[in-house]
Chains A and B, each alone.
Chain A
């Protein structure tokens, strides 16, 4: 069964304390891996797309990497405004079936000033 697991479930960091969020996946027919940020009461906001192992994408204090089994979202010197839930999603196309998108449960990140 296709699965996406994010860890940790929650993370509290001091401002400026760098860390990484993990997204591990067990899927067949991977077409892409996506990272989103979600603030309370809002829909997810797109951050990155990764397609193949070894690929990296960066945006401000965030950097996403991909291997064959997992992805990491690295947060460098975070600020309080980076506090949010970070969601990982994979797009898969099982054999002879239509695309489906599977989200992880997310990591709730809280940056303390």
Chain B
């Protein structure tokens, strides 16, 4: 069984550019959430989607947006990139919320903004 897959694995962008990160959840999982993890810190919650609807949002500016598609895959978009957006972006999936089985995380997309 494939786990949570994220693409690309690494990305280098210039300040001011826009980026789209992609996530495919485990088959059958309907909930997807996104996190930003800066080196040495815990993941910070960005968005949660369940059944294609936004169910939670963290304290991130409107430059961050996301969506979930009918096949439950998801995209995270970040506009007008800043140097401070450099981080590991993690996607996690679950059947519905965390529950007794928690989230299954992908290995992340390492974004570097120069």
Contact = CB atoms under 8 A, between A and B. Distances in A.
Interface string B5-46: 000000000000000000000000000010100001111110
A46 B102 contact: yes
A105 B41 CA distance: 5
Among A6, A42, A48, residue most surrounded by chain B Cβ atoms (within 10 Å) = A42
Interface residues of A, number: 26
9 contacts: A4-B42, A32-B98, A42-B108, A43-B107, A44-B43, A46-B101, A91-B97, A101-B33, A103-B42
Interface of B: 4, 33, 35, 40-45, 48, 54-58, 90, 92, 97-108
Given A99-B48, A99-B55, A103-B42, A42 B102 contact: no
The 9 closest A-B pairs by CB, nearest first: A43-B105, A46-B102, A103-B42, A98-B56, A99-B56, A101-B45, A105-B42, A103-B43, A100-B56
A73 interface: no
Given A100-B57, A100-B58, A87 B100 contact: no
Contacts of A44: 43, 90, 92, 103, 105
B100 A101 contact: no
Contacts of B40: 105
Contacts of B103: 44, 46
Interface string A63-92: 000000000000000000000000101010
